[in-house]
Chains A and B, each alone.
Chain A
Amino acid sequence: MDQTLQKALDQLDQASAAVRLAVQNLATTPGTEAAGDAAHALSGGAIDPFVFRFAIFVLAIFVGYYVVWSVTPALHTPLMAVTNAISSVIVVGALLAVGISASGIATGFGFVALMLVSVNIFGGFLVTQRMLAMYKKKDK
């Protein structure tokens, strides 16, 4: 068990190091796009920003793999509830659509998306909290 945890932490470290590097690159160039663009310029335009995003994606899958295996089976239901809540971070797309979109139609879609994920954000975290509050140890 401890070994798995250690592995998970190592993976975490590696992932954050990789990402930190990408962010450092980013800070040196006035790019407006995300991590990829800066690295794109530094590497002489040879590497597409997609590759950097993909690297982060793959590393995050590994982090997820080790972290989720270390979740105790007793908490698998809260795990589903909380993963559901965090996947509502898709709200960032909805906010862009509602906040700054030029087209009325897009604002409409964004607004619907925003309402849907708000249900999830509040519902997901609160129901997880409610469940977790019930897990108690034996009174000794």
Chain B
Amino acid sequence: MNANFASFLYLVSGILFILALRGLSHPTTSRQGNLYGMIGMGIAIATTLALAVPSAGGFGLIVLGLLIGGSVGAVTARRIAMTSMPQLVAAFHSLVGLAAVMVAAAAIYAPESFGIGTVADIHAQALIEMSLGVAIGAITFTGSVIAFLKLDGRMSGKPIMIGGRHFINIALGIALVVLIVLLVTTESKLVFWLIVAASLVLGVLLIIPIGGADMPVVVSMLNSYSGWAAAALGFTLGNLALIITGALVGSSGAILSYIMCKGMNRSFISVILGGFGGETAIAADDGIERTVKQGSADDAAYLMMNAQKVVIVPGYGMAVAQAQHALREMADKLKANGVDVKYAIHPVAGRMPGHMNVLLAEANVPYDEVFELEDINSEFAQADVAYVIGANDVTNPSARDDKSSPIYGMPILDVDKARTCLFVKRSLGSGYAGIDNTLFYKDGTMMLLGDAKKMTEEIVKAMDH
């Protein structure tokens, strides 16, 4: 195939990827968008095969690789539980990162096949682009592996603080720059692998000090990194599809990180430097004996059945308890009884952007009953009941009222403005930020202590009486 025509086709697949993201502006157009994405990928693969026709053996290997990887991917996609989506996305990011490292390694061992010069005479510019790609790719790889382990509960969600980590990170960063310069001047394979090693270590060090509650930012950030790694390699290969895609993914991840940081009223830098999320923060113990009103499933059922308007506020606890289906049943019962039911979702509820929306969609909750913070916050004042299930810090009125609170300034859902707030919680402990929730002690709050799923199921049963 003519190389010019191939470039044009790569452009087409880049445009199809743009349309894939564009489709996500609304649920009705989103499926079409995903289809565009698949077509774009198909065009990119077919073009590459037609442009650089592989040998028979090479073709066999390609089919084998696609088959093995493809079946693993397809089976995973089919079997994965929706609650495990954050882990899955983190794992997928790590694969892109590692693949970027592998492609760069292939390019340095066989530069001719990529049109970037010959062994020991690779264009300096290609080497710079390649080393950036490989460094970002390797950071993405180990960073995502750590994020995966934390999200999957195989590693404690608590931040792990290493003494002098800022110093080590800066030293590693400087070392990376020096190594990249060395690689460009010497084209030594040893230096290449040193870059890989330094970046792998840096990836681990960057993510381990970040706590569980800050994971939405981390996952978005790694999403962004995987894009920049792809773009850097796109420059090396002179491939339009890769450059465009890398830029899209990079900016997409960056925007999501920004939205998540804003949802927590924290600066990106402070999240990246670690700490906070999961840290044992100041438990507000001012010695005042405060009383908590506890209720039973029957009380909750009675209150909600006699309400006109109920707003449900789900959080990470709902995901952990897999309570979304029971919750939908409860909402169905209420709706059948003429109660107006809506769902309110905080931007950082859960462990990744949009986590709660996916779980509710899985439980067949129509998306037009689900509202974002800014759209629903004014409605709590008219609601009879706010049913908070598995959310904590995002409902803490201290963030709004108490200037001394560590989470002061974080936008919250005003559940305390509802006539009654039913708060489902395992125990009276504090949330991930380790901050006492003053909501528990308000007059209008009734605590429903127990597992989110069991409690909701009991309420559903009680509604039948």
**Which residue numbers of A lie inside 8 Å of B, CB to CB?**
5, 8, 12, 16, 19, 23, 26-27, 31-36, 38, 49-50, 53-54, 56-58, 60-61, 63-65, 67-103, 105-107, 109-139
Contact = CB atoms under 8 A, between A and B. Distances in A.
B367 interface: yes
Contacts of B245: 86-87, 89
A103 B110 contact: yes
B113 A122 contact: no
B69 A92 contact: no
B353 A77 contact: yes
5 contacts: A5-B25, A68-B255, A70-B22, A92-B47, A109-B102
Given A79-B256, A96-B52, A98-B58, A86 B357 contact: no
Given A71-B24, A87-B249, A121-B41, A113 B99 contact: yes
A83 B140 CA distance: 15
A101 B252 CA distance: 33
**Size category of the binding interface on chain B:** 35 or more
Contacts of A122: 69-71, 73-74, 77
A60 B93 CA distance: 21
Contact of A88 (B8, B41, B52, B106): B41
Interface string B347-371: 1000011110110011010111110
Contacts of A71: 21, 24-25
Interface in B88-132: 88-89, 92-93, 95-96, 98-100, 102-103, 105-107, 109-110, 112-115, 125
Nearest to B246: A87
B368 A60 contact: no
Given A19-B240, A86-B245, A136-B361, A99 B27 contact: no
Given A64-B251, A76-B352, A82-B20, 13 more contacts: A23-B7, A33-B3, A64-B249, A68-B251, A70-B22, A80-B352, A90-B230, A97-B114, A106-B105, A106-B110, A109-B109, A123-B74, A132-B30
A122 B26 CA distance: 23
Contacts of A109: 102-103, 105-106, 109
Among A92, A112, A133, find the residue whose CB has the most chain B CB atoms closer than 10 A: A92
Contacts of A117: 69, 95-96, 99
Interface of B: 3-4, 7-8, 10-11, 13-15, 17-18, 20-22, 24-27, 30-31, 33-34, 37-38, 40-41, 44-45, 47-49, 52-55, 58-59, 61-62, 65-74, 76-78, 80, 82, 85, 88-89, 92-93, 95-96, 98-100, 102-103, 105-107, 109-110, 112-115, 125, 219-220, 223, 226-227, 229-231, 233-235, 237-253, 255-256, 259, 345, 347, 352-355, 357-358, 361-362, 364, 366-370, 372
Q: Which of A76, A87, A109, A139 has the most CB of B within 10 A?
A: A87
Given A72-B27, A86-B20, A107-B61, A57 B243 contact: yes
A131 B83 CA distance: 12
Nearest to B31: A132
B24 A72 contact: yes
B256 A80 contact: yes
A135 B242 CA distance: 30
A86 B102 contact: no
A105 to B, nearest CB: 5
Given A34-B238, A53-B235, A71-B24, A116 B54 contact: no
Contact of A64 (B10, B233, B248, B372): B248
A86 B30 contact: no
A116 B66 CA distance: 9
A120 B45 contact: no
Contacts of B235: 50, 53-54, 57
B74 A78 contact: no
B251 A114 contact: no
Given A82-B20, A83-B252, A86-B41, A119 B72 contact: yes
Closest 3 CB pairs of A and B: A118-B69, A99-B54, A76-B354
A49 B8 contact: no
Most buried by B among A32, A80, A109, A121: A80
Given A71-B24, A86-B37, A136-B367, A92 B89 contact: no
Contact of A82 (B34, B105, B110): B34
B255 A65 contact: yes
B358 A131 contact: yes
Contacts of A82: 20-21, 24, 33-34, 37
